Amino acid sequence: MTVAVHVVVSGRVQGVWYRQTCIERARSAGVTGWVRNRPDGTVEATLEGERPAVEALLAWMAEGPPGAVVDHLDLTDRAPSGATGFEVR
């Protein structure tokens, strides 16, 4: 079953390779979508894929790469859009 979610990650998540590591993990898990830094210091992403793959990526996003300090994930379910690939915006 394909699911989609919009996520905003708060904490120390910029300047710690969060986006790049997220891309690598998403692509290896077969999750599609995008990730970007926001001016307020958060990271925003959309994730789409099979539920176990999206849930595994969300679990990683709650921890982040070494150097990150994740305070909170704000999740919103979305309708799958048929996205292909995973990119930085």
- Catalytic residue set: 19, 37
| Cα distance between residue 68 and residue 41, in whole Å | 12
Q: Are 51 and 1 in contact (CB under 8 A)?
A: yes
- Measured CA to CA, the distance from residue 58 to residue 79 in angstroms comes to 17
Name the DSSP class of 33: E
